[in-house]
Amino acid sequence: MTDPAMETVDSFGMTAERQFAEVWSRTALSDRERRLVLLGLLVGQGLDEMTDVQLDAALRTGDLTEPELREVVIFLTHYAGWIRGARLNGQVEEMIERVRQSRAAGDPPGCGGQAGSIR
């Protein structure tokens, strides 16, 4: 048995999780609107790993549909540049396929993707 006083506490992680929860629970924007803003920011900054997490969450939560994600690719390509747009296109198509396979296998929502947390 581990002495609780000797356990490592991830105070940064706990604080960040609480802050994210508070930001995502505000009511002025919907989760869908937040997801769109966040995707634009992540793609614009070239943060591919975080983009994958948000694409996965968008599909699994129903915040964005497959056609809507494809439209996001077209839109962001014109503003974030062709290189980032092409990379995003690949990410979207790969995530769509991954989520389809997960659903076909009967995985519950939120399982099988890269996202540890849907937000």
User: What number is the average pLDDT over the span 8-21?
Assistant: 81
The per-residue pLDDT for 12 is 80
Q: What percent of the chain shows pLDDT beyond 70?
A: 85
DSSP states along 5-46? GGS---HHHHHHHHHHHHHHH-SSS-HHHHHHHHHHHHHHHT
Q: Higher model confidence: residue 10 or residue 108? A: 10
Q: Is 6 exposed, middle or buried (0-12, 13-18, 19+ CB in 10 A)?
A: exposed
CA–CA dist 42, 71 (Å, integer): 16
pLDDT of residue 9: 76
Q: Is 117 helix (H, G, I), strand (E, B) or coil?
A: coil
How much is the pTM?
A: 0.76
Does 38 or 9 have the greater pLDDT score?
38
Over its C-alpha atoms, the chain yields an Rg (Å, rounded) of 17
pLDDT recorded at residue 1: 56
Q: What is the DSSP letter of 113?
A: S
Does residue 118 carry a pLDDT above 70? no
Q: What confidence tier does 10 reach under pLDDT thresholds 50, 70, 90?
A: confident
- How confident is the model over 41-99, as pLDDT tens digits? 999 999 999 999 999 999 999 999 999 999 999 999 999 999 999 999 999 999 999 99
